[in-house]
Amino acid sequence: MKGTIMAEKKVMLVCAAGMSTSLLVSKMQKAAKAHGEDVDIFATAASDADNKLESEQPDILMLGPQVSYMLSQFKEKVKIPVEVINMQDYGLMNGEKVLNQALKEIG
């Protein structure tokens, strides 16, 4: 029953179109694997974020810097941590730092 095993933690990244975060997702997954963390990390476009929140039920929502203006509206909507990804870490695609930020917030 390999397909039914769920990750311990689930991280959702949101950006304008869902494309720019795909590289960051793979770098975060690589960092998680290197540290033995069981984390499901995925990205979505801001326009589909509400659907993904409902269907995926993540433990944290991480916003790309380009959609940081949506922070307050997501914080009002969800009962999970909502964070804006550090602009420098995002620009450098520093998956390890962004993963650590997410895991720190999840606790």
Q: What is the number of residues in the chain?
A: 107
Contact 82, 61 (CB under 8 A): yes
Contact 61, 14 (CB under 8 A): yes
The DSSP symbol for 94 reads -
Provide the annotated active-site residues: 15
Residue 12 and residue 74: Cα distance in Å, rounded? 12
Specify the pairing of strand 82-84 against strand 39-45.
unpaired
Q: Which two tokens stand for residue 37?
A: 């963390």
